[in-house]
A and B are shown apart, each in its own frame.
Chain A
Amino acid sequence: MSATICVINSKGGCGKTTVATHLAAALASSGLATTLADWDRHHGATHWLSLRPKSAARIGYVDWRKKFGEEPAGTQRVIVDCPAALKNKRVRDVISEADVIVVPLLPSVFDEHVTQQFLKELDTIKRVRKGRASVLLVANRTRAGSLRAQKMESFLHKLGYVPTVYIADRSLYPGLAAQGLTVFDRQTASMQARQEEWMPLIAAIERDVKRDTNA
């Protein structure tokens, strides 16, 4: 049985597709049969997969706008690049069934405002409220320990959350995306340093998926 990891925030442009593609590449390269389900109307993940070279770790694909809820046989992890909305019943249903919910956010007053609303809405879903689906926050384009990171931390602290990872803003991300790649697809020392930034999130997802399986 596969585990579903939803990447969602009702704020657009917060890096959902970047996070989704990185999660898919990381889990696939660790040996898990991973599928990227593109449910976003911009189809960024679909485009990224079309650019992905055959030599890179294999990632399955399904367009949830056409074949909602489907996944290739043998899939172990489904990463869903969700639409930027939680009002839709279908989205709420998917979130209700997800094993892990990953919420990227940027260090800006606009993102904080929308994310606050979003997290409140998320809390109205019983499984999230009861702590049976974990919510992991990604402080995107934020360097750990920076002033912006500290501000974000105190903002999230008031809401009862702590960021799981800080992903620093790097110029290499757009370049890799243009080749259908992620930092997990290159094994140079500098790329491995970038991979380390993501590892707390990947490890937390795997921990929570297993907790969910064992429950």
Chain B
Amino acid sequence: MKEHEIRFSVPQTSRDAVADWFGTHGSTNEACETLYFDTDTRALRAGGYELRVRRIGDTFVQTIKTADAGSPWVRQEFETPVASFEPSRAHLFDHLSQTDDLGGDADTAFGTLKPVFETRLTRRRLRRTRSDGTVESVFDDGHILAAGRSRPILEVEHELKNGKPSALSSSCLEFLDRNPCAIGVEGKAARGYRLWQGDTAQPVYQKKVRIARDTRLPEALHRIFANNFSHALANLPALADTGVPASIHQMRVGLRRLRSAFYAFKPVLSGDGVRDLNGGTKRIFALLGEVREADVFLADTLPNVPANVLPARGRRLLERVVAAERDAALARLQNCLTGKDFARLVVEIDTWIEGRSWLTFARPVDRLLVDRPIGEFAAARLQNMHRKFIKLGRKAIVGTLDDWHQVRIMAKKLRYSGEPLLAALDDEVDPDYAKNLAQLQETLGHINDSHSARAFLERIRASVPARSRASFAEAAAYCIGWGAASAQAASRVVADGWRAFEATGPSTRR
């Protein structure tokens, strides 16, 4: 059975208000105790499964959840009543895709299943039916217990029991209007495993999506959108926990891929929804960009400025000022990502993706898109995007650094938008094309890092205390001068790289 649910993390200050909201809507209360099982080798976790037995009153229910390809909120869920906290072997093996998913000999592996962690909570539950579907909402208040450690649970989950994703979205948005909460990406199982391991949340890198060229557009689009959205969101826990540079970068990459997919499929997408989501994601992207700019300056730009250009004292000052700027930008970002508006945006994107009504039907010929294989769409679209890119590059060859900046933006669009399109074309595309494009974009990125150091340093100058401003301006001037010279030199190198790239093209093999 498909489970589609959206989770919100409730701040301690809103506990009573949320409890009142559930009470007003006639919720029932129950005490839940749940054990989560895995083998010695954590084979279930590694295979993307979740096995739990939950006791509510005198009843025990075993649930198996399987990892869904892509979507952050949609999974397969299978339940069966059991007699006690002892897991049912038959039910588990019915839902493993292969019995050796449990690792080695199935019987031996099953014998090693034991509780890894548990949750104890009070659950308020209510079910509401709307014209477009039925949604069950639960408010869980309790703890996760693992390896002698404990972590509080205070969260609300809305689950679509039947009907359209719009019913889930209405339910979530109505709840958010009354109860400002943050989006809660990690489920109890993910947090339980983390607590058991004593880990902080880690950055998540994207898994490659392979889409066969004869996959119809609606299915292909769903997989691409869901996968990119999922990748961006999966980095939220690490970003909120520690804000390490890789979590910022990976969330940004996920969002960029989602936005690039909007661009790649623009000719076949219905306009209004995409425009709204593009606007929302752009704001988050800009906030991520402020932190990323500081990370790039500290990790890439500054270490490259030679010691004879920038004296050590100036370097230390820049490091200190930029690090402070990063902290401030990260705080703004974390504040935004744990806020109600971001939670709303996530609900809206999820509804848009799962609602699957993104294809345009503005013209009669648009009806053909439903049956069009992604490979056919990709071949034509890629040629089109490549033509635009070549036009910009030819202008930049005889133009300025700003023209190369435009080429860099288009290179990113082409690279990230082109990824799913190229993947769908399998062996029909020159295999060097993606590699050459990535190389070109990297080189253009270096020019940009050097060139944009000026804008970045000028922007943060205002936040430098007055007493250090003169020293900062001096150190920044060394950096800016070096950056401008490097960018100018690199633009000559990129011109050669461009000519080599232009000679390849994405032409299909015959």
The answer to whether A and B assemble together is: yes
Interface stretch among B147-155, B185-193, B220-228, B378-386? B378-386
Interface residues of B in 343-370 (CB under 8 A from A): 362-369
- CB neighbours of B363 from chain A (8 A): 29, 184, 187, 192, 195
Which residues in chain A, 178-193, are within 8 Å of chain B measured between CB atoms? 184, 187, 192
Q: Of all chain B residues, which has the CB nearest A26? A: B365
User: Is B267 an interface position by the 8 A CB rule?
Assistant: yes
Most buried by B among A27, A31, A32: A31
- Say yes or no: is A196 at the interface (Cβ < 8 Å to chain B): yes
Contact A31:B371 (CB < 8 A) given known A73-B508, A74-B508, A184-B365: no
Task: Tell yes or no: A117 within 8 A of B by CB.
Answer: no
The complex places the Cα of A31 from the Cα of B381 at a distance, in Å, of: 8
Q: Does B430 contact A (CB under 8 A)?
A: no
- A203–B368 touching, CB < 8 Å: yes
Chain A residues within an 8 Å CB radius of B110: none
> B268 interface residue, CB < 8 Å from A?
yes
Q: Which of A25-70 contact B (CB under 8 A)?
A: 26-27, 29-33
B371 near A32 with CB under 8 A, answer no
Contacts of A73 in B (CB 8 A): 507-508, 510
Please tell me if the beta carbons of A210 and B364 are within 8 angstroms of each other in the complex. no
Q: Which of A4-39 contact B (CB under 8 A)?
A: 26-27, 29-33
| Residue B136 CB within 8 A of the other chain | no
A113 to B508 CA separation, bound complex (whole angstroms):
45
Which one of B367, B376, B379 has the greatest number of beta carbons of chain A within 10 Å? Answer: B376
Please report whether the interface of chain A is mostly helix, strand, loop or mixed according to DSSP. Answer: helix
A150-172 vs B, Cβ < 8 Å mask (1 yes, 0 no): 00000000000000000000000
Determine if A96 is an interface residue (Cβ-Cβ < 8 Å). Answer: no
Interface residues of B in 465-510 (CB under 8 A from A): 507-508, 510
Q: Interface residues of B, CB < 8 Å — how many? A: 22
B368 near A206 with CB under 8 A, answer: yes
- Whether B367 lies near A199 (C-beta < 8 A) is yes
A30 touches B379 (CB 8 A): no
Could you tell me the distance between the alpha carbons of A196 and B364 in the complex, rounded to whole angstroms? 6
Q: Could you tell me the distance in whole angstroms from the C-beta of B315 to the nearest C-beta in chain A?
A: 52
Find the A residue at minimum CB distance from B217. Answer: A31
Nearest CB in chain B: distance from A19 CB, A: 16
- Say whether, besides A31-B267, A184-B365, A196-B364, A206 and B371 are in contact (CB < 8 Å): yes
Interface contact A74-B267, CB-CB below 8 Å: no
Asked whether, in the complex, the Cβ of B507 is within 8 Å of the Cβ of A30, the reply is no
B377 is an interface residue with CB less than 8 A from chain A: yes
For A3, the closest partner residue in chain B by CB is B376
Are the CB atoms of B507 and A32 closer together than 8 Å? no
User: With A31-B267, A206-B371, A210-B371 given, is the CB distance from A74 to B365 under 8 Å?
Assistant: no
Contact A32 B380 (CB under 8 A): yes
Q: Which residues of A (60-106) have their CB < 8 Å from a CB of B?
A: 73-74, 76
Partner of A33, one of B268, B367, B379, B507: B379
Closest to B383 in A: A74
Q: Across chains A and B, which 10 residue pairs bring their CB atoms closest together, nearest first?
A: A30-B365, A195-B364, A33-B380, A30-B368, A199-B364, A74-B383, A196-B364, A26-B365, A206-B368, A31-B380
Q: Could you list 27 A-B pairs, sorted by A, with CB under 8 Å?
A: A30-B368, A30-B369, A31-B268, A31-B369, A31-B372, A31-B377, A31-B380, A32-B380, A33-B379, A73-B510, A74-B383, A74-B508, A76-B376, A76-B379, A184-B363, A187-B363, A192-B363, A195-B363, A195-B364, A196-B364, A199-B365, A202-B365, A202-B368, A203-B367, A206-B371, A207-B371, A210-B373
Given contacts A31-B377, A32-B376, 20 further A-B contacts (CB under 8 A): A26-B365, A27-B365, A29-B363, A30-B365, A30-B366, A30-B369, A31-B267, A31-B268, A33-B383, A74-B380, A76-B379, A76-B380, A184-B363, A195-B364, A199-B364, A199-B365, A199-B367, A202-B365, A206-B371, A207-B371
Which B positions have Cβ atoms within 8 angstroms of A?
A: 267-268, 362-369, 371-373, 376-377, 379-381, 383, 507-508, 510
